Amino acid sequence: MLFATAKDALNWYQSEDRVINKSFLDSVPWKDVTLHEIDKKFLPVLLYMRDIETMTEVYFEELMKSPTGKDPVIREFMERWVTEEPVHGELLNRFMEEAGFNPDADWKAKGFALIPVSYTKRSKLNQLIAMPFGKRFAAVHMTWGAINEYSTLTGYRRLWELADHPVLTYLLKAIAREEARHSLFYWSVARIHLAESRFSQVLSRNIIDRFWTPVGQGIKTEADSNLVIRTLFAGEGGVDTMKKFVNDRVAQLPGFENLTRVTDRITQASMTV
Ligand SMILES: [Fe+2]
Ligand SMILES: [Fe+2]
């Protein structure tokens, strides 16, 4: 689907209510969680995803302070988006509770408290770097967001295939439908902003090629990110999946021909021990 304007993408996003509504929540067969085994190796993946989903508001606050946050279409999208992501975190946490993994009761407060000072400092620096580019920087934010959303979507798909737990699959398929909508919005708005200016293309491509890191890295450590990537993508077809659904999708954007940054990083992480 190709939208002519960012407003068209927003109208499409708003034309449907969220997938995870009350009737979905009432339909989750929580009592069946313990009827099926889940390999403990997926616990760090679930914890990582839960925390990143929950901390979406940190990224939202950053973006709202930047010139991108002044864009009325992006702002309207993000105001709904920031309410959807933490519910994904809550569902993953409930799944872990039901599965007997006993996640920490204080997990949210602890998670926010553990955000490293280096992340906060870098985020302030990023704002200073973005300022002189004004609204041109929206192309960077939207491209970065598209990579993160497609990565998350692909990560969830891979998790349900590997973990093969019916209740987790049921949850992740619903979450993935929302991630797919987020992905298409970010990708579409990135495409429109990039197509407007060669300068935006060069700026965005440079920043992604030099600085892009997997979703969550920065709030979490590089070792945490590597462990998640390795668990999900080290097996047969893992890197190819990320290449097809993330890297090559972003490579369709204006100025992103022959992108390899995502595939390179996933390959590197899958080989770390
Ligand atoms: Fe999410
Ligand atoms: Fe998302």
- Asked if the structure places residue 218 within a domain, the reply is yes
| Residue 108 domain-assigned (yes or no) | yes
Place of tokens 């973006």: 63
Give the model confidence (pLDDT) of 219-260 as tens digits. 788 999 999 999 999 988 999 999 999 999 999 999 999 999
Whole-angstrom distance, CA of residue 85 vs CA of residue 55: 9
Q: Is residue 12 part of a domain?
A: no
The pLDDT of residue 105:
82
Contacts of 239 (CB under 8 A, 6+ apart): 233, 263, 266, 267, 270
Q: Region 122-139: what's the mean pLDDT?
A: 69
Whole-number Å distance between alpha carbons of 215 and 261: 13
Quick count: other Cβ atoms within 10 Å of Cβ 206?
12
Q: Per-residue pLDDT for 118 more than 70?
A: no
Residue 27 lies in a domain: no
Mean pLDDT, rounded, of the chain:
91
Which tens digits make up the pLDDT trace of 161-170?
999 999 999 9
In a domain, 264, yes or no: yes
Q: Which of 26, 249, 234, 19 is nearest to 148 (CA)?
A: 249
Domain membership of residue 187 (yes or no) is yes
What pLDDT is recorded for position 74? 97
Q: Coil, strand, or helix at residue 48? A: helix
- Residue pLDDT, tens place only, 90-111: 999 999 999 999 888 888 877 7
The alpha carbon of 24 and the centre of ligand 1 are apart by a number of angstroms equal to 16
Q: How far is the CA of 231 from the centre of ligand 2 (A)?
A: 21
Domain count, the chain: 1
CA of 32 to the centre of ligand 2 (A): 26
CA of 52 from ligand 2 middle (Å) equals 10
| pLDDT exceeds cutoff 70 at 126 | no
The CATH number covering residue 200 comes to 1.10.620
Q: Quick check: is 229 in a domain?
A: yes
Q: 230: CA distance to ligand 1 center in Å?
A: 20
pLDDT at res. 209: 96
* C-alpha closest to that of 171 among 44, 10, 12, 38: 38
- Give start and end residues of each alpha helix (H) in the chain: 6-14, 22-27, 43-54, 56-65, 72-98, 107-113, 117-130, 138-163, 166-196, 198-211, 222-233, 238-242, 248-250, 261-271
| SS3 at position 217 | strand
pTM above 0.85, yes or no: yes
Place of tokens 């192309």: 139
Cα(219) to centroid(ligand 2), Å: 17
Tokens 């989903």 correspond to 53
Structural domain span for residue 130:
39-271
Q: Which two tokens stand for residue 130?
A: 């973005």
For residue 268, the CA-to-ligand 2 centroid distance in Å is 24
Closest ligand to 146 CA? 2
| Least distant ligand from the CA of 77 | 2
**Within a domain: 17:** no
